[in-house]
């Protein structure tokens, strides 16, 4: 006889499956809604402005276009870069922004990062922070591999002299969706002043429990960047029982976190379910109750929150700025 827990798990899997398929398989004039944006190169004309401290600064597209800042990857070919705000930070602090999957962007991650630079990043710029909205690897790298190495390379560059180049003393990392997953994983690798994750993954359970479903969905969109990365993730970490999935399991590695963190999740999120955050909070509370000391994690749940708009909500934005302000105050003392 099936247990109540097993029934709840099957029902939850069914709901997630129905929501995912409903969201992804929307007809659009006889085609599927997700663009074929793998290998699409965003056409940008860049004029080199200067080189400093191993970084290159460009003006993009036109004389009043955005600034692009890039550095070379460490021990790997290529560069990692993103859009940098132009006003110097009155706080002498930079917010590195990780935008999340570019599944809906015709020109992929570069278009997504530019949208965040022109939108969400304004919240931090208006509060006196410098912002750098990154373009990290996506299709062809699993979650927590090449994309994470890109973010680590950026943080390492900042700490090894990039801070002086940008005129800042402190680094914050703010991620949304798969970018939040990267922010959480980064916190296990490097220390920064503070980390914010909005709607990210803290454990791989939902991929493991719905492994065949995710493979089916990813197979429908092989030329879409976000779904291509999902397929890369499933291929790299293997079958649900594979121990390799432990690399994405921050719930069982909560003691590895280096920096204070604010984690935000919508209860109605069907892309990355809220169970992720609840599992991490239970692990965090157990460790703290046992007397283990490590950086504080703040949990903020949105009872009516979905996956796609939390970062646009005024209550979420106020919570983020308040968290950063507390980190700033702690840095001053």
- Which pLDDT does position 40 carry in this prediction? 79
User: Looking at the predicted structure, is the pLDDT value of residue 119 above 70?
Assistant: yes
- Domains annotated for the chain, with CATH where assigned, are 4-332 (3.40.50.1820)
The rounded distance, in Å, linking the Cα atoms of 254 and 257 is 6
pLDDT-based confidence at residue 89 (cuts at 50, 70, 90): confident
As a residue count, the chain comes to 333
Give 136-175 pLDDT, tens digit per residue. 999 999 999 999 999 999 999 999 999 999 999 999 999 9
Tell me the three state secondary structure of residue 201: coil
Q: How many of the other CB atoms lie within 10 Å of CB of 330?
A: 12
Give me the mean pLDDT over the 36-60 stretch.
90
Task: Answer whether residue 121 shows pLDDT above 50.
Answer: yes
- How does pLDDT run across 263-311, given as a tens digit for each residue? 999 999 999 999 999 999 999 999 999 999 989 999 999 999 999 999 9
pLDDT value of position 16? 47
Q: Answer for the pair 230, 178: CB distance below 8 angstroms, yes or no.
A: no
Using alpha carbons only, what angle is made at residue 260 by residues 202 and 191, rounded to the nearest 5 degrees?
A: 90
Distance CA 331, CA 319 (A): 18
Confidence of residue 51 (pLDDT cuts 50, 70, 90): very high
Q: Are 208 and 240 in contact (CB under 8 A)?
A: yes
Note the pTM of the prediction, 2 decimals: 0.90
């Amino acid at each position: 006889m099936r247990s109540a827990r097993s029934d709840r798990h099957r029902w939850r899997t069914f709901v997630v499956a129905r929501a995912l398929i409903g969201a992804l398989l929307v007809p659009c004039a006889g085609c599927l809604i997700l663009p074929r944006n793998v290998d699409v190169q965003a056409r940008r004309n860049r004029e080199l402005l200067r080189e400093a401290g191993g970084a290159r600064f460009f003006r993009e597209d036109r004389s009043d276009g955005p600034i692009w800042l890039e550095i070379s990857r460490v021990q790997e070919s290529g560069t990692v870069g993103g859009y940098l705000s132009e006003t110097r930070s009155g706080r002498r602090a930079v917010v590195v922004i990780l935008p999340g999957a570019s599944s809906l962007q015709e020109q992929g991650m570069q278009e997504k990062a530019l949208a965040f630079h022109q939108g969400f990043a304004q919240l931090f710029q208006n509060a006196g922070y410098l912002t750098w909205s990154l373009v990290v690897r996506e299709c062809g790298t699993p979650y927590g591999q090449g994309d994470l190495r890109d973010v680590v390379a950026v943080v390492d560059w900042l700490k090894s002299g990039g801070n002086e180049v940008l005129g800042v003393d402190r680094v914050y990392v703010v991620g949304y969706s798969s970018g939040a997953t990267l922010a959480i994983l980064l916190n296990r690798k490097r220390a920064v002043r503070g980390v914010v994750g909005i709607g990210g993954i803290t454990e791989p359970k939902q991929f493991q429990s719905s492994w065949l479903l995710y493979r089916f969905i990813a197979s429908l969109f092989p030329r879409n960047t976000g779904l291509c990365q999902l397929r890369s993730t499933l291929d790299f970490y293997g079958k649900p029982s594979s121990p390799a999935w432990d690399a994405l399991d921050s719930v069982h590695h909560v003691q590895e976190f280096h920096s204070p963190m604010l984690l935000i999740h919508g209860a109605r999120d069907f892309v990355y379910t809220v169970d992720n955050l609840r599992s991490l909070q239970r692990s965090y509370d157990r460790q703290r109750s046992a007397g283990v000391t490590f950086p504080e994690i703040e949990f903020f749940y949105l009872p009516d929150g979905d996956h796609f708009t939390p970062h646009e909500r005024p209550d979420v934005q106020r919570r983020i700025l308040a968290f950063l302000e507390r980190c700033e105050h702690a840095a001053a003392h």
